[in-house]
Every structure is written in structure tokens, then in C-alpha cells.
Amino acid sequence: MSDILNLGATEQLASMKAGQFSACDLMRATLTRIKEVNGAVNAVVSLRDEEALLSEARAADAAATRGLLHGLPIAIKDLANAAGIPTSQGSPLFAGQIAQEDDPHVARLRAAGAIVIGKTNTPEFGLGSHTYNPVHGRTGNPYAPDLSCGGSSGGAAVALALRMTSIADGSDMMGSLRNPAGWCNVYGMRPSWGVVPDAGQGEEFLHQLATNGPMARNPTDLALLLDVMAGPDPMQPHGRALAESAFPSSLRIGWLGDWGGALPFEPGILDLCTKALDGFTELGADVAPLDAPFSRDALWQSWVTLRNWSISTSLADLMADPAHAQHLKPEAIWEATQGAALSAMDVHRASVIRSDWFRCTARLFEQVDILALPTAQVWPFDGTLDWPKEISGQGMDTYHRWMEVVIPASLIGLPCVAVPAGFGANGLPMGLQLIGRRGADRALLRAAEAYHAVTDWPARRPPPMLQS
């Protein structure tokens, strides 16, 4: 494996600045790696012309440093717009549609000097934590390409794991930055809601579930990318600055496990994540199990109501046109139909539960600094399936019920860093969610960096195809 590509983003940037290699060298190595491994996993899509990318890299070498990411290649998740590159959203309705301008966070990446090489694959409209769609096909897990890599930031996670990129953007409504990070042995961060701007279109006041965020192979690079992506957008009303935050020197972690027995898990996941927490114990942290702090059923009812409502509004125009609606995948139609049937009072009641859960976490964070949960309830599953229908004998009543473990952070916009937890007896990776109070983004990143220093799973267990 190329030493250049084995470096993290921060190290690559420092090496370029020191003259050890050029942006053009890095771009050549990147494109070579994509040729070597992408065919087996299908993570990077809509790759730009090689000579155009090398020309941009040569221009970066000849220019003064533009910003924190000067000369660094990056592929953008195919839900976001990057000017001059198709934005399919995984839907045949938008296949080949060329973006005319950058979304706000993409514009910030370019302004910081990053070179956009193409897109990373995602499920249709980002729905479901399994990356497949009728436009670009399925993305395979880097540790077993016939298995799911998770999603919806699946292509980004796989590109990182296989050293096709050193940083990646993603987005997260229901674990889309966390589940694929856990299944691909990399890091993903869902920031506090409002820290990273969205596309800045349409209604801007009511929906507070999804956010953009960074992915990387180490927390230092997560922090680097978050610094570039973060900050209020004057065209959006709820933006917030990335605040300084710190935890006490003696870190307190509350392990929520299976939510008091309420959440089903496949065998081995809870044991692995419990063992992963030993990494924090080695650092002097106090790790203790917590009883379920809130009703699982209430959280789920609030979540599905608010999510159905949000998705129904985003797909309303497509659903209104039968010629378009027929091309939507069944899960999208189901979500939109459920959401359209809700009343204003249904939404209000769901938001009351959400508010109660926020107040509950405020009390929890008086006792602990971090809440910990696994990133998924199942191991990476057969890539030919659409979604898991049961977990350890318990049937799943929706296409996304198997992802329930991620909603405690998503529902109320809490920051969460997904860190690698290691590997099960099946040889597959799993992750651990570290959840903090609103605004504790920097503190969480520092805690994750301390954990990384004693574990470094991405370096210890790179994907098999990189070891051959």
C-alpha cells in the first residue's frame, strides 16, 4: 500500500507543505488506488476526468496555499451538490443531472483548497442504512464485499477504509454517518444540529433531524474537516458556531447497552462494545452501565412521526406526480404516505416527547459526560437483501427498525462520534457511539482522539484487499 495513501489527511497536508510530495503525486496515487480497488466495492461514482483532476492538482502545487485542505482530494456524498458533477441522489429521476452550484458545505471544502474528484455512493434519497440504488448499484463492505457497508454515507466510509480518500463528507438523519463508520472500521461524526449547514433550500424552520458531518480514519482528521464545514450560514436561521467545550479530567461514561433489555442485538455486538470501552478505562475514565433512562416505545413513536413528516415534505412534489412517484423505491413511498397522513397534533405530540427526552438527557449529563451505545444492532448483512427482517428472532416492523439504536442522538440533535470498536469472531467490524450534550463537539473529538491513541483499529486491521 502506498505510504502516501496510508497517511491521514492532516499528515498528507503536512507532508505536502514540507515538500515531501506534491498535490499531483497525491492525486496520481489516489486515482491509481481507485482503479485498483473501486471495481470490487463501487464506493466512488461519477469520477471526474483524470487529466482534469491532475491539472487541478498541478494548479494547487503552483499556487499559494488556499486553506486548510489545500490540494487534498475528496469525493462528495451523492446527496449533496458539487458544481459540474452529477447529483443523482441514487434516483433514476435525477440520474445524470449536473449540479449548477455547490451546496454550502461543499463550497467551504473547495474554498479551503480541497479538490473534488467525484461522488460517493448512497441509497436512493439516503433512505435506509444499506447503500444500493438503481443508478449506481450496490456498494460492498471493504471487509467482505458481498456484505452491506451500511449507509447512507456508505460509499464515503468504504472509500476511507480502502484509502481512496483520507477524509469524506457525509450526512446523518438516522445513523448515516455512524452505522457505515462502524461497519467499515473508520470514524464518523454527527455534529450538534445546526453546526454544519444543509443545502439551504426550501423550508428552514421546522425540520431538525438531519445534518451534514465529517468522516475520517482518525479523530484529528474529523476535527480538521469539521472546522472547515462548520459555522453559521447567513441564509439559514438556526446555524450555530462550533463552540469550545471540555470534559473533566476524570471522564464519566454511561453505557446504555441494550437499553435495559428493550433493544434486540445479534450475538457478540454488546460484548465487543463493552470490551471496547476498556480503552477508556485504560485512560482513567469511569465507565458504568446505566438503566434505560426513557421509554423505548415513546422514543420510537416520536422518531417515526417526525421522520415520516420530514420525508413526506421533501418528497411531496415527486409524490404528487404519478409519472415520478412510480420511480420511487417502496420505502420512500411508504415514508411519504405515512407522513402525509399525519395531523398537526400528531406532529405536536411527537415533538412533546422529543422535548421530554431532551430534558431527560440534560439530567443525565449532570451524572455523566458521555453516553455510549453500539453503532448498530446487527452485523453487516447479505448485500443482496433490502434490509434485515429480524434481529435474534424479533421481527422488524419497518424497513428501518433495525437501526433503532441511533435515534437517541438523532431525535434531539446531540453530537455523536462513532469510533471503531474492533472485530467480532466473524471477522467483521463494529462501532461504538459516543454521545455528548449539545455543543460538546470538540470535547467529544478530544475523547475520541485519546481512545484512538490506545486502539487505532483502522491501522491495526486494514481491509484484506489492502493486505494482499
Per-residue pLDDT of the chain in tens (468 residues, 90 and over written 9) = 469 999 999 999 999 999 999 999 999 999 999 999 999 999 999 999 999 999 999 999 999 999 999 999 999 999 999 999 999 999 999 999 999 999 999 999 999 999 999 999 999 999 999 999 999 999 999 999 999 999 999 999 999 999 999 999 999 999 999 999 999 999 999 999 999 999 988 899 999 999 999 999 999 999 999 999 999 999 999 999 999 999 998 999 999 999 999 999 999 999 999 999 999 999 999 999 999 999 999 999 999 999 999 999 999 999 999 999 999 999 999 999 999 999 999 999 999 999 999 999 999 999 999 999 999 999 999 999 999 999 999 999 999 999 999 999 999 999 999 999 999 999 999 999 999 999 999 999 999 999 999 999 999 999 999 986
Q: Is residue 320 part of a domain?
A: no
Domain count, the chain: 1
Q: Is residue 329 part of a domain?
A: no
Here the cell at position 157 is 466510509
The pLDDT, as a whole number, for residue 468 is: 62
Q: Is residue 331 part of a domain?
A: no
Residues designated as active site: 77, 152, 176
Which of 425, 457, 455 has the alpha carbon at shortest distance from 269? 425
Q: Is residue 187 part of a domain?
A: yes
Here the cell at position 213 is 458531518
CATH of the domain at 45: 3.90.1300.10
pTM for this model (two decimals): 0.98
Q: Is residue 244 part of a domain?
A: yes
The pLDDT, as a whole number, for residue 200 is: 84
Here the cell at position 285 is 475514565
Backbone angles phi, psi at 42, to 5 degrees: 60, 50
Residue written as grid cell 456508505: 154
Residue written as grid cell 441564509: 235
Q: Is residue 209 part of a domain?
A: yes
* Domain ranges, residue 183: 3-296+348-467
Q: Is residue 312 part of a domain?
A: no
Is 331 in contact with 399 (CB distance < 8 Å)?
Answer: yes
Per DSSP, 400 falls in state T
Q: Is residue 308 part of a domain?
A: no
